[in-house]
Structure 1
C-alpha cells in the first residue's frame, strides 16, 4: 500500500476533473480524496497498491476530456487508511 499526493495545474477546474477522478479511483480500487484549491489547481490523494496508484497518476497527467493539464506535482506520504474515495 502506498500514498501519493498530487497537485494538478492547468485548465482543471470546471471540467469534471474531480468527479472523473473519483470514478477512476473507484474503478482502480484506490482510496483517498480530491478537491479544488483556491489557486485554480486540483489536489488529490491516492492510496492503494503501487500498480493501482500508478494508473491514477498516469490518468492525472491527462485528466478528463475537457481538461488541459500543464503540470503534475507528486509527493509521497504516510498511508492514512482511507475508506473509499471522496470529493471534498
Structure 2
C-alpha cells in the first residue's frame, strides 16, 4: 500500500488521468483506507473546479486599483 506521502506525490497525475492502470489501483486502494488523503483529493478537486469557474479576463485597471488602495492605506496610517 502507498504511504500518504507517495499518495500526495501522485495526486496530480491521478486527477489528470495520467497514471497507469496499476498505479491507479494503488492510489484507489490507499484512498479506500485513508480518510485524510480522501479529504486532500476532494480539496484539490474543489480547487480545480473553482479555478475553472473563474473568469480568464484580467481585471481592468488593476494597477490603478492597487495604487488607490496603497494611497488609502498611507492616508489611514501616517
Common topology (TM > 0.5): no
Higher relative contact order, structure no. (Cα contacts within 8 Å, ≥ 6 residues apart): 1
- TM-score for the superposition, normalised by structure 1: 0.24
Kindly indicate which of the two structures has a greater share of residues assigned to strand.
1
Q: Which has the larger radius of gyration?
A: 2
- Normalised by the size of structure 2, how large is the TM-score? 0.26
